[in-house]
């Protein structure tokens, strides 16, 4: 068996720099040359493989197998879910169900910009992130906010900041699934650990959103919106993440948030109705902003929500801890290497084919929703045409980034890099979310960031004797914070605005608030390490 080499150059600093080359390659290709993500990751894959063979002496054949097993994992564990998640979304678009849902949501909003922001950007954005991800919450939420009177650039920023907390569970949990695939940590354990951190993170953004649209006075006046909006999302997200897994926390969180906000608005509304910037609205302005001819009956509202209920029921029954379906693995292919960090330990990269994994439950949900709406042949053709057009690039990224990540881990590069960073000591707890923030700024994808840095973060944690899920979880949540400044995400997010191909201005506008949230997350991570390090080890793992 191939034994990894910790310091192949004889100089730990030179080895550490060489181990950074794959990361720096992606940085230069994506941020400097602005090469498309799938091609950048393909080039990065070649660089990683050649470095593994040339410097770390990875066997040529085993390196190829490791890459192929990683790529197969990316296709089956990630692409399979995201494809069907987007197919469900496009089914709602093609059948008109999404437009009915949007109209119902606008009907619920009052003339107050703060109510509209929490309903549309926070609750509705979380639902879109949970179903699709990839910047689509920006693309659909920002135009709604613009029509309600928020300037374009500010509307995009509000949609982007609101999109922070749900990202780790976006696209039906794909980032957490990717993290479990590269670290080997139990999926439910990782989901619960990230759920704890996100629950604390989610306390802040609603306050920031109220401040952005109405200023300090407007935020203080509307404090019930921030409290109910954050706690209701957490009430739906947290138990699902901890006890059921990563597929539906965002969907559950958004639905509970909708219900709680609508109940709140029946008994309380801001005393002064304010527009964007905190300006009080006259009676005439209020009447104009909520004018609508749409009235929704109880049966229409039930029909609007039915596809989401179907998705929840099928996925929960299929993937919950009580179900044997995801655990059936008729095929497993693996290649192992002796660890450079732990004597007698092995680093294994494997592809485990489980035909009934979460992605298959999403496919079953799509079939049920299609039957519900009586989708015809022409509509099915349009759904798959749109889905493939939107997803082929992302699917290639899933294929190449997992191959790259598996080679990065198998060759020993990740171990060498982790050993170098571990010299920082326990202060690395504060740096862990920063790496996730940087990673998503480069790749535009929480999933790719977890694939690239997940095993590395786990290894640093092991060297430092930290709880095994702490650093990988902070990596994932750190990537949430970096989403508003990710060029790939921004390019999708501005696709429905006048800032198409002008992502740089949007990123500059978002940058300051991402730093505020990043510092907050660093403090949260430090708090878990100092005061509750074992609370993340849910299920007694």
Q: Give 501's pLDDT tier (boundaries 50, 70, 90).
A: low
The per-residue b/e assignment along 449-463, b for 16 or more CB within 10 angstroms, e otherwise, is bbbbbbbbbbbbbbb
For the segment 528-532, the average pLDDT, to the nearest whole number, is 88
User: Which tokens sit at 435?
Assistant: 């790496």
Instruction: Establish if 358 belongs to a structural domain.
Output: no
Domain that includes residue 525, residue range? 14-283+296-328+379-540
Q: Give 263's pLDDT tier (boundaries 50, 70, 90).
A: very high
Instruction: Establish if 98 belongs to a structural domain.
Output: yes
Instruction: Establish if 73 belongs to a structural domain.
Output: yes
Q: Which helix (H) or strand (E) holds 245?
A: none
Instruction: Establish if 501 belongs to a structural domain.
Output: yes
pLDDT digits (tens, 9 = 90+) for 302-325: 898 899 889 889 988 998 878 899
Can you give the pLDDT at residue 510? 84
Q: Give 440's pLDDT tier (boundaries 50, 70, 90).
A: confident
pLDDT for 290 beyond 60: no
Domain count, the chain: 1
| Residues linked to residue 274 through DSSP beta bridges, in sequence order | 280
Q: Give 32's pLDDT tier (boundaries 50, 70, 90).
A: confident
pLDDT for 261 beyond 90: yes
Mean residue pLDDT across the chain: 87
pLDDT digits (tens, 9 = 90+) for 481-494: 888 877 666 666 66
Instruction: Establish if 289 belongs to a structural domain.
Output: no
Instruction: Establish if 341 belongs to a structural domain.
Output: no
Instruction: Establish if 342 belongs to a structural domain.
Output: no
By CB atoms closer than 10 A (0-12, 13-18, 19+), residue 215 is middle
DSSP 61-120: HHHHHHHHHHHHHIIIIIIHHHHHHHHHHHHHHHTTHHHHHHHHHHHH--S-HHHHIIII
pLDDT digits (tens, 9 = 90+) for 398-410: 899 889 989 998 9
Instruction: Establish if 2 belongs to a structural domain.
Output: no
């Amino acid at each position: 068996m191939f034994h990894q080499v910790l310091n192949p150059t004889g100089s730990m600093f030179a080895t550490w720099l060489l181990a950074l080359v794959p990361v720096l390659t992606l940085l230069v290709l994506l941020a400097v040359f602005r090469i498309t993500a799938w091609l950048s990751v393909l080039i990065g894959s070649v660089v990683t493989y050649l470095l593994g063979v040339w410097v770390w002496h990875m066997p040529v054949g085993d390196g190829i197998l490791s890459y192929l097993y990683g790529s197969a994992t990316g296709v089956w564990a990630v692409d399979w879910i995201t494809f069907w998640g987007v197919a469900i979304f496009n089914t709602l678009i093609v059948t008109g169900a999404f437009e009915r849902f949007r109209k119902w949501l606008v009907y619920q909003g009052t003339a107050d910009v703060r109510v509209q922001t929490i309903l549309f950007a926070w609750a509705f954005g979380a639902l879109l992130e949970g179903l699709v991800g990839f910047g689509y919450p920006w693309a659909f939420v920002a135009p709604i906010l613009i029509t309600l009177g928020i300037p374009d650039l500010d509307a995009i920023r509000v949609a982007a900041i609101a999109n922070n907390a749900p990202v780790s569970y976006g696209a039906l949990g794909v980032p957490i699934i990717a993290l479990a695939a590269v670290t080997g940590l139990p999926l439910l354990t990782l989901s619960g650990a990230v759920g704890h951190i996100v629950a604390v993170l989610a306390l802040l953004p609603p306050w920031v959103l109220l401040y952005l649209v109405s200023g300090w006075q407007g935020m203080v006046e509307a404090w019930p919106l921030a409290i109910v909006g954050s706690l209701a999302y957490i009430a739906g997200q947290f138990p699902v993440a901890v006890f059921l897994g990563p597929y539906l926390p965002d969907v559950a969180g958004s639905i509970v948030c909708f219900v709680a906000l609508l109940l709140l608005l029946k008994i309380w509304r801001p005393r002064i109705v304010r527009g964007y910037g905190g300006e009080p609205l006259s009676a005439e302005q209020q009447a104009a902003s909520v004018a609508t001819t749409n009235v929704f009956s109880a049966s229409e509202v039930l029909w609007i929500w039915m596809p989401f209920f179907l998705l929840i029921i099928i996925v929960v029954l299929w993937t919950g801890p009580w179900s044997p379906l995801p655990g059936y693995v008729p095929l497993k292919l693996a290649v192992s290497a002796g660890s450079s960090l732990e004597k007698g330990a092995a680093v294994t990269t494997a592809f485990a084919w489980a035909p009934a994994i979460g992605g298959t439950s999403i496919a079953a949900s799509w079939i049920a929703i299609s039957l519900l709406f009586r989708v015809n042949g022409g509509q099915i053709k349009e759904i798959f045409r749109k889905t493939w057009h939107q997803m082929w690039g992302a699917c290639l990224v899933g294929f190449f980034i997992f191959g790259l990540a598996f080679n990065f881990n198998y060759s020993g590069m990740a171990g060498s890099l982790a050993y170098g960073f571990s010299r920082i000591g326990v202060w690395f707890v504060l740096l862990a979310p920063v790496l996730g923030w940087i990673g998503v700024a480069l790749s535009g994808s929480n999933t790719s960031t977890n694939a690239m840095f997940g095993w590395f973060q786990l290894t640093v944690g092991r060297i430092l004797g930290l709880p095994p899920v702490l650093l990988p979880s902070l990596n994932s949540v750190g990537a949430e914070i970096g989403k508003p400044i990710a060029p790939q995400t921004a390019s999708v997010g501005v696709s429905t605005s006048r800032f198409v191909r002008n992502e740089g201005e949007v990123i500059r506008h978002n940058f300051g608030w991402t730093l505020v949230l990043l510092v907050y997350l660093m403090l949260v991570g430090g708090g878990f390490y100092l005061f509750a390090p074992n609370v993340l080890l849910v299920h007694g793992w």
